[in-house]
Structure 1
């Protein structure tokens, strides 16, 4: 290639990120603070999100505090369950962690979450005409928005010295009955999350 051809080729080459320095190029936008008038103007109809995002392009809102508090509140309100050999109730939430968010994308609202929790339970169980105190944990590993039908739960008993293998198995099976009311409470949580 001769020197003149190389110069000609470099001048016509396409570059994406190079800023045009010609005088007729549009000036860069200057950021400005929103005024009280900007904020008080009614939002455009059919737009979601903040005042600064009237186009509804992308906006993400962290809902972790609200979601954690609401999940704990719902789970603490679970009723006690009666079984043929005993009864049990939820004493409290020992662990509740995860993320919840609301995203506005192209003027459409989308919500989601990923959580896990552990519940403490207490109760009584009849073993050979003797009433024994029982306690333990119900652990729900990671679950996400729209996946409540696949909810899994593990049951662990504490202070199980004199219960016996058969009684332990019966208690663990009975405690899995809490899965239905837990799922109902989490469906309520999902509905409330969608309405935010």
Structure 2
């Protein structure tokens, strides 16, 4: 063991009084999802678009779906964000003239000038078409300005303090890596998983097939009835069997939420406690009842590559085998 002050300088923690991320060597991450939603709502709330004797106002942020995260990698800030935004607008002169603004591809891969902005009209009338034409030709600039303000705030306001002072330095030097496809080419070990929230890491897909001596509805009940989940996991369970419902089992080591629930399909956002913060895989159970058994096809996307082998083993060890033993679903003639 190296003496105090010796060894690899990346691990010498006395250089900072808080012993945190010395010289910014380690990869740190900050989830910007909640902050981004609040910022986008703040920027577009009551936004007025006017000109050419026409005036319209944004009345509601109908949709704000997506994710954003900022990474500090060896003293460089790397930004990932992807948002689908839908706004409602109304004419200030005639409340019957209203529609929506759709922004489907706000992301670091696209320059603000390349982001699609589409205006639609709820009811087509001659006056309404004039307003829509104005918004399409002049209103896009106003919307783009707000999108630019969001990106600037993400890079300057939200990420402030992520790069820590180095030894013998009272200044924080911020190096911002240009976002976009070049970052992803350099980070050739990183795969962006659209099905995950938060962390951007190298991922893979796990696929398995299992046969159970039971009806399809019985297998479905195993994952959606708290008493049955507690039976095969052997411990306390938190379970809300509904779309968007949360679940937690194995002393909190496995958690997530239900994305879709039906007797033939269960989809879950699913994570292990020790995975990077905010990173979820997507688990898809396809349940197919045959004449004498039920076939279950598992597809799990977004599994960290380093966890592939253990994840496969743990499905057998903690799910399939206990389910078959507990409910006698494993016996075939």
Q: Give TM class, smaller chain.
A: 0.5 to 0.7
How far is 1:87 from its partner? Answer: 2.4
What residue in structure 2 maps to residue 18 of structure 1?
none
Q: Structure 2 matches for 1:124-143, cutoff 5 A?
A: 133-143=96-106
Note if contact 2:97-2:128 (Cα within 8 Å) is conserved in structure 1. no
Specify the alignment match of 1:60 in structure 2.
29
Give 3-state SS (helix, strand or coil) of 2:25's partner: coil
* Unpaired stretches in structure 2, ≥5 consecutive residues: 2-12, 160-333
Would you say the 8 A contact 1:63–1:101 is kept in 2? Answer: yes
Deviation digits for residues 97-145 of structure 1, max 9, x if unmatched?
11111101122122221111011111156xxxxx673011011111212
Cα offset, 1:189, TM superposition: 1.4
Give the TM-score normalised by structure 2: 0.39
RMSD of equivalent CA atoms: 2.7
Q: Identify the structure with bigger relative contact order (alpha carbons < 8 Å, sequence gap 6+).
A: 1
CA distance in 1, matches of 2:129, 2:81: 33
CA displacement, residues 36-81 of structure 1 (integer Å, 9 cap, x when unaligned): xx79x4368xxxxxx2x32523122211000111011011152241
Q: Which runs of no fewer than 5 residues in structure 1 stay unpaired?
A: 1-25, 27-37, 45-50, 126-130
Are 2:48 and 2:56, in contact at CA under 8 Å, matched by a contact in 1? no
| Structure 1 position 113 matched with structure 2 position 81 | yes
8 Å Cα contact 1:82-1:88 kept in structure 2: no
Decide which of 106, 117, 139 is 1:153's aligned counterpart: 117
**How far, CA to CA, are the matches of 1:83 and 1:94 in structure 2?**
27
For 1:134 and 1:124, locate their aligned partners in 2 and report how far apart those are by CA, in whole Å: 9
Structure 1 segment 64-79 matched on structure 2, within 5 A: 64-79=33-48
| TM-score, L = length of structure 1 | 0.63
Give, in whole Å, the separation in 2 of the partners of 1:77 and 1:91.
6
